[in-house]
């Protein structure tokens, strides 16, 4: 984990530098005391495959989250449109205003401690491609603490809400896991160029599925990070329509040092749902039956089945159907 700080433009940044992490801890304590934050208890174990020691959590109790989902579906049926939990969001979960376009709140049903959501103030579709404003807000948050930011681009990629939201968690997934499980594969990455151009896009060879990877630098501006994101999209042939809607679902993961994009074709393997965190090496199962499915097939094989098999390889470029 790097101690370097990211560089962000100060233009229209509302968050006071150096305050976010303390604010996260304060609001977490308050939200727990008033009942606004519903932490989902888990047990976990490690399952190794292809050199990655996957952290697999067993979600012990999803009753309150399931009840909340049913309530949302009932409200949607009553009002005749999708219920939006972020408009307005719960004030007890509000952490900070990041920019004029984005705010930061706690994830109400968290499995990982200090799980943050970066939401757009106005409604935007989760299946629309990310914008410079999204990356500015994300980069501001990563400048405050060394976290993992991720985006589930569409329902197939694991998104549970239509309102656009990025997510950020600490890289220390548990008290004993100090780095992300996929970190062991990053030493294999080879890029042809270190400049922010399409030539600097590569892949993680240890992943047996289509992926696009680039190194980042904490000194980069959000404009450069946004450019690299577009390079990742281009390398796997994901495009925008006239309304900026994506041509394919995908997962995006980013730290201060790297960014990874994986196109998706399935939301789950058998009954096991997979979102962006799966590609960081952190998976979730609901019961012992799902755990046995995961162990019998292997966690890396689950990821391979929900992503795209490697089809056509060119230097720094993959194509998807």
137: left (phi over 0), alpha (psi -120 to 50) or beta: alpha
Helices and strands (H, E) in the chain, number of each type: 6, 15
User: CATH top-level class for 20-319?
Assistant: alpha beta
**Burial profile 75-93: b = 16 or more Cβ within 10 angstroms, e = fewer:** eeeeeeeebebbeebeebb
Supply 125's token pair: 């579709």
Strand partners, 54: 47
The structure's pTM equals: 0.89
What does the pLDDT profile of the chain (321 residues) look like in tens digits? 455 677 665 558 999 999 999 999 999 999 999 999 998 888 899 999 999 999 999 987 554 545 545 555 455 545 545 668 888 899 999 999 999 999 999 999 999 999 999 999 999 999 999 999 999 999 999 999 999 999 999 999 999 889 999 999 999 888 788 899 999 999 988 775 544 454 588 999 999 999 999 999 999 999 999 999 999 999 999 999 888 899 999 999 999 999 999 999 999 999 999 999 999 999 999 999 999 999 999 999 999 999 998 865 544 444 555
Give the DSSP letter of residue 261: E
Supply 226's token pair: 């946004």
Question: What are the backbone angles phi and psi of residue 84, rounded to the nearest 5°?
Answer: -110, 110
Domain boundary assignment for the chain: 20-319
């Amino acid at each position: 984990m790097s101690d370097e700080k990211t560089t962000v433009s100060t233009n229209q940044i509302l968050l006071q530098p150096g305050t976010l992490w303390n604010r996260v801890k304060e609001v977490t304590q308050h939200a727990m005391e008033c009942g606004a934050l519903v932490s989902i208890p888990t047990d976990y174990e490690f399952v190794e495959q292809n050199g990655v020691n996957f952290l697999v959590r067993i979600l012990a109790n999803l009753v309150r989250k399931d009840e909340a989902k049913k309530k949302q579906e009932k409200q949607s049926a009553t009002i005749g449109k999708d219920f939006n939990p972020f408009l307005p969001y719960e004030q007890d979960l509000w952490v900070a205003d990041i920019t004029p376009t984005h705010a930061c709140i706690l994830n109400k049903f968290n499995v990982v401690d200090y799980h943050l959501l970066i939401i757009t103030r106005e409604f935007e579709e989760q299946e629309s491609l990310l914008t410079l404003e999204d990356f500015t807000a994300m980069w501001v948050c990563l400048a405050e603490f060394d976290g993992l930011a991720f985006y589930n681009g569409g329902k197939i990629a694991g998104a549970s809400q239509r309102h656009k939201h990025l997510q950020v968690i600490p890289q220390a997934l548990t008290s004993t896991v100090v780095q992300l499980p996929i970190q062991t594969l990053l030493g294999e990455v080879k890029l042809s160029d270190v400049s922010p151009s399409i030539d600097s896009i590569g892949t993680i060879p240890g992943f047996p599925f289509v992926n696009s990877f680039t190194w980042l630098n904490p000194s980069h501006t959000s404009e450069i990070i946004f450019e690299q994101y577009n390079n990742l999209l281009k390398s796997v042939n994901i495009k925008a329509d006239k309304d900026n809607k994506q041509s394919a679902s995908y997962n995006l993961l980013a730290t201060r040092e790297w960014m990874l994009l994986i196109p998706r074709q399935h939301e789950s393997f058998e009954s096991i749902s997979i979102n962006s965190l799966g590609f960081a090496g952190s998976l979730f199962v609901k019961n012992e039956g799902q755990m046995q499915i995961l162990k019998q097939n292997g966690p890396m094989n689950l990821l391979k089945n929900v992503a795209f098999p490697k089809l056509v390889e060119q230097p720094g470029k993959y194509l998807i159907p």
